[in-house]
Amino acid sequence: MSLPNTEPGPADSDYDLMLCFDPSWSQHFYVLSFQSGPSMDGEVYNEVKIFFSEDFTWSSCRWKSEIGFYGSSRFVNGVLYVGHIWEPVLLAIDAPGPSMQWLSQRIIQLPGFPNGPEMFGCCDGCLCQSSGVLCYAQQELDGCMMRIWSLEGTDSRWVVKHRLSMNNVFGRDLLLRTNHEGLWYFDYDIQAFDLERELVILVDRVAHRIISFSMSTGKGSEILKIRMFSELYRRAFYVPYYCKFPALALQGAQDEVV
């Protein structure tokens, strides 16, 4: 569907669109347009324009936060979690109503080690959800182990759910290296994970391939070869689908009638 009045704003502004839809929480969806740019007085402004599918209208809310939250995102139970570009934190934004002028938001510290550009060139973790709970996966410092946490409780505590060995998956004992600039890189990236199916999707940067890893057996299998790792593979490579296909659901209903 086409959204009405989707002008990105002034030519000198930056913007980023995010779709928020969780059918287990609501049949309606939101589109958030994060915008930033210079104001009349020279200061940088931050604003979020929000599209509501329920009444097919846009609303505008101010964003009380610094620039930088344009990383990976997940919409879980009415809350949009957005990763920071550099810092190991999330911006959590509650789903707004059409009459809201300010977004209800808070900062959540990510678990694991503090990943900064002074140490690592690429050590982004991976956000996913499981049974309506936000989850986060990240390599340990040597890359040989991976941890998966879930965000639980009203106080937003990270709880370790899994600790997985990666050595047998890649057939190497060393999964960390440096480049010519002296920055540390892991040999693999975590693309996605699905706790219900006990599945992790990995990108092997050395052998240029995508791997599916079974959490129950500890084994990995190659999905496909890739020419080289690029930002293309940071997109939604794996999306879990738990509902029955309409045709199968219809067939099941007919069988019950018969």
pLDDT at 257: 39
Residue 256: pLDDT band (50, 70, 90) is very low
Which amino acid appears at position 131 of this protein?
S
How far is 134 from 228, CA to CA, in rounded Å?
30
- Over residues 87-99, the mean pLDDT reads 80
How far is 46 from 28, CA to CA, in rounded Å?
25
pLDDT at 205: 86
**Percentage of residues in the chain with pLDDT exceeding 90?**
20
Range with the lowest mean pLDDT among 14-18, 108-112, 197-201? Answer: 14-18
How far is 233 from 238, CA to CA, in rounded Å?
10
Residue 14: pLDDT band (50, 70, 90) is low
Question: What residue ranges in the chain does DSSP mark as E strands?
Answer: 14-20, 30-38, 44-52, 57-62, 73-76, 79-83, 89-94, 105-109, 120-122, 126-130, 133-139, 145-152, 157-165, 176-178, 184-186, 188-194, 199-204, 209-214, 220-225
* Phi then psi dihedrals of residue 76, to 5 deg: -130, 125
pTM of this prediction?
A: 0.79
pLDDT at 65: 55
Nearest to 193 by CA among 138, 255, 121, 141: 138
Q: Which of 102-106, 130-134, 135-139, 248-252 has the highest mean pLDDT?
A: 135-139
pLDDT at 25: 83
Q: Residues with Cβ < 8 Å from 20, sequence gap 6 or more?
A: 29, 30, 31, 32, 75, 80, 95
Q: What is the pLDDT of residues 99-130, one digit of tens each?
A: 666 677 888 999 987 555 455 555 568 999 88
Residue 56: pLDDT band (50, 70, 90) is confident
pLDDT of 204 > 80? The answer is yes
* Residue 211: count of CB within 10 angstroms of its CB: 20
* Residue 252: count of CB within 10 angstroms of its CB: 11
Q: What is the pLDDT of residues 209-234, one digit of tens each?
A: 889 999 999 999 998 888 765 555 55
Which amino acid appears at position 216 of this protein?
S
How far is 169 from 154, CA to CA, in rounded Å?
36
